[in-house]
């Protein structure tokens, strides 16, 4: 059974801090790893990673995948209060169709 573990489960920082969120996984026949941000309702897509060692960046957010060690990290630099959200990590195996297995998420709170 596919499994995703995120750490920490909860994190409180001050504006301007840099944070690193962790995601480790076990999946039979890995295809991709995805990061989402969930504020109130719908998870918002951030990154999809398929290749090891290639960093994806979007503004202050970046993510990298290590397929050998089976983990990914999401970095947020110069955090802002608007970054407060639950960050979800999910994995998708190969095979027919789309099927994501999610971790519990990391609740990030950024205080002014």
Partner 1 sequence: KAGVTQTPRYLIKTRGQQVTLSCSPISGHRSVSWYQQTPGQGLQFLFEYFSETQRNKGNFPGRFSGRQFSNSRSEMNVSTLELGDSALYLCASSRLAGGYEQYFGPGTRLTVT
Name the site residues for partner 1 (rule: CB under 8 A): 31-32, 34, 36, 41-45, 48, 50, 88, 90, 92, 94-105
**Cα torsion angle, 66, 106, 80, 83, sign:** positive
Longest dimension (CA), the chain: 45
Q: Which is nearer to partner 1, 35 or 79 (CB)?
A: 35
Shortest CB 55 distance to partner 1, Å? 17
CB of 4 to partner 1, least distance (A): 9
Indicate the residue among 36 and 76 with the shorter CB distance to partner 1.
36
What are the contacts of 41-44 at 24+ separation with CB within 8 A? 43/88
Q: Is 29 helix (H, G, I), strand (E, B) or coil?
A: coil
Q: Least distance from C-beta 72 to partner 1, angstroms? A: 15
Q: Radius of gyration (Cα) for the chain, nearest Å?
A: 14
Nearer to partner 1, 32 or 79 (CB): 32
């Amino acid at each position: 059974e596919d499994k995703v573990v995120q750490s920490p489960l909860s994190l409180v920082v001050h504006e301007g801090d840099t944070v690193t969120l962790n995601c480790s996984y076990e999946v039979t026949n890995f295809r991709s790893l995805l990061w989402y941000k969930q504020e109130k309702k719908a998870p918002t897509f951030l990154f999809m990673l398929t290749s090891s060692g290639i960093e994806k960046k979007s503004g202050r957010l970046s993510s990298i995948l290590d397929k050998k060690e089976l983990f990914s990290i999401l970095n947020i630099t110069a955090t802002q209060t608007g970054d407060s959200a639950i960050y979800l990590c999910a994995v998708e195996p190969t095979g027919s169709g789309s099927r994501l297995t999610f971790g519990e998420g990391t609740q990030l709170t950024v205080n002014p």
